[in-house]
Amino acid sequence: MPPVILRGAACGLLCGCLPVAGAAGFIDDSTLKLQLRNVYFNENFRDEQGMSARAAATAKSERVEWAQGFLLDYQSGFTQGTLGFGVDALGLLGIRLDSGRGRSGTGLLPVHDDGRAADEFASAGVTAKARLGKTVVKHGSLLPKTPVLVHNDARLLPQTYQGTQLVSSDIAGLTLGTSSGSSSATPLTAPACTWMAMAAVNRETSPMRAPSMPSASSCA
């Protein structure tokens, strides 16, 4: 069975197992968003100054691609009680509208070994989450946006991460966060990487500045 179907079945099973009496916040605070992105990318390489004659003869004069992206983002609320549980789901689909073997490689679409862009590409992910006070733990597919780690969203579809993230705001004026896992390979960000990051931000004195904390990453 395809992984996307298995993840969808797991999400449905988790939702079905939540206690009905405590599911009011889970349902009432949930959101479902569909975002459409239409991107045309033209990168010009006609200036051959500084290139050897051989390189100039084989170089692409330009890279031109046009693609349509679909982002379906579901985020649940939390079940009622001291310890609340929830689940998020993300579906991504990119479709080629225009490209060619001599014009591929813009980062909008994956490229096959023969130089042609893929007709389409897709991914899906599920995230389990728990909340205690003002501390939230998430495990699964992540789109991190912290002072030390931000997912790449510069092309058709965002880069997703697989791992665990903890963010705590229980201390007034201070946000603590830690993350670890691996990033997925995308047309723009391949290869995939493993990463670990920590941050502590004093929101009262410097909302955008994070002190030096351990962080590491490595790419395959």
Domain containing 205 equals: 133-220
Number of separate domains in the chain: 2
Q: Which of 132, 148, 166 is the last residue of a domain?
A: 132
Contacts of residue 190, Cβ cutoff 8 Å, sequence gap at least 6: none
pLDDT tens for each residue of 69-89: 999 999 999 999 999 999 999
State mean pLDDT over 164-192: 74
CA–CA separation, 43 and 105 (whole Å)? 10
Q: Which of 132, 157, 192 is the last residue of a domain?
A: 132
Indicate if 47 and 92 belong to the same structural domain: yes
Contacts of residue 68, Cβ cutoff 8 Å, sequence gap at least 6: 36, 37, 38, 94, 95, 97
What's the whole-model pTM score? 0.70
pLDDT surpassing 60 at residue 1: no
pLDDT tens for each residue of 36-58: 999 998 877 666 565 566 655 65
Q: Which of 86, 116, 132 is the last residue of a domain?
A: 132
Percent of the chain scoring above 70 in pLDDT = 63
Position 14 scores a pLDDT of: 46
CA–CA separation, 139 and 34 (whole Å)? 22
Band the pLDDT of 33: cuts 50, 70, 90: very high
Contact 22, 138 (CB under 8 A): no
Indicate if 163 and 58 belong to the same structural domain: no
Q: Sort 91 into a burial class: Cβ within 10 Å, 0-12 / 13-18 / 19+.
A: middle
